[in-house]
């Protein structure tokens, strides 16, 4: 928190976390005393952690299946809380990465709308060994086709290309806080 408190004091309100459990430890008290802080879950979300995630986070950037979408929808109703979600797209069709395939994206998007999830945009993590710019352009097109306003993509190494391709949320934690240990 010693690195986060000065940022909050200077007016920064959007923060991302990769893990629900870590976020609970770091942010539960902070969120109680800082109503303006918006917390984003940018890492994967397991269905058994949905209850905790809906309680703490304002955004989930990693919705990638109907099962997860349904769990979030159900939990929002129980908690009487509406969060904003991004659908994670496996833009490079990488087997080791999460995200919905491009061919199933529209179906998942329509399902999310049907169950009253507030889908604000798409998210991706492009392949490491290829030019991110190609994938960011494709994500921009997919986002526009669904008429979504937000686009979550780009990290410390490629955020400038992401911004050029209409990213509205970028993840530059390691440039600010340093590499994770």
* Angle at alpha carbon of residue 154, lines to 99 and 85, rounded to 5°: 50
State yes or no: pLDDT of 181 exceeds 70.
no
Q: What is the pLDDT of residue 174?
A: 59
pLDDT band, residue 38 (cuts 50/70/90): very high
Residue 165 class from Cβ within 10 Å (0-12 exposed, 13-18 middle, 19+ buried)?
buried
Number of domains in the chain: 1
Question: What is the spatial distance between Cα 55 and Cα 12, in angstroms, rounded to a whole number?
Answer: 21
Is the residue at 77 inside a domain?
yes
pTM: 0.92
CATH code, 43:
3.20.20.10
Q: Name the token pair of 24.
A: 């609970």
Closest listed residue to residue 176, CA positions, set 151, 153, 159, 152: 159
Range of the domain at 60: 4-176
State yes or no: pLDDT of 1 exceeds 60.
no
Is the residue at 181 inside a domain?
no
pLDDT in tens, 97-156: 999 999 999 999 999 999 999 999 999 999 988 889 999 999 999 999 999 999 999 988
Handedness of CA 64, 13, 16, 171 (dihedral sign): positive
Is the residue at 165 inside a domain?
yes
Is the residue at 113 inside a domain?
yes
């Amino acid at each position: 928190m010693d690195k986060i408190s000065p940022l909050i004091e200077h007016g920064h309100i959007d923060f991302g976390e990769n893990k629900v459990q870590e976020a609970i430890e770091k942010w539960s008290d902070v969120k109680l005393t800082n109503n303006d802080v918006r917390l984003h879950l940018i890492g994967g979300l397991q269905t058994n952690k949905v209850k905790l995630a809906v309680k703490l986070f304002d955004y989930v950037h990693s919705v990638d299946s109907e099962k997860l979408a349904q769990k979030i929808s159900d939990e929002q109703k129980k908690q009487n809380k509406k969060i904003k979600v991004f659908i994670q797209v496996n833009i490079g069709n990488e087997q080791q990465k999460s995200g919905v395939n491009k061919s199933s994206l529209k179906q998942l998007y329509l399902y999310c709308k049907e169950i009253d999830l507030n889908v604000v945009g798409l998210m991706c993590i492009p392949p490491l060994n290829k030019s991110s710019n190609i994938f960011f352009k494709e994500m921009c097109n997919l986002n526009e086709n669904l008429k979504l306003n937000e686009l979550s993509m780009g990290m410390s190494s490629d955020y400038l290309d992401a911004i050029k391709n209409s990213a509205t949320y970028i993840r530059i934690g390691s440039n600010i806080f340093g590499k994770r240990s």
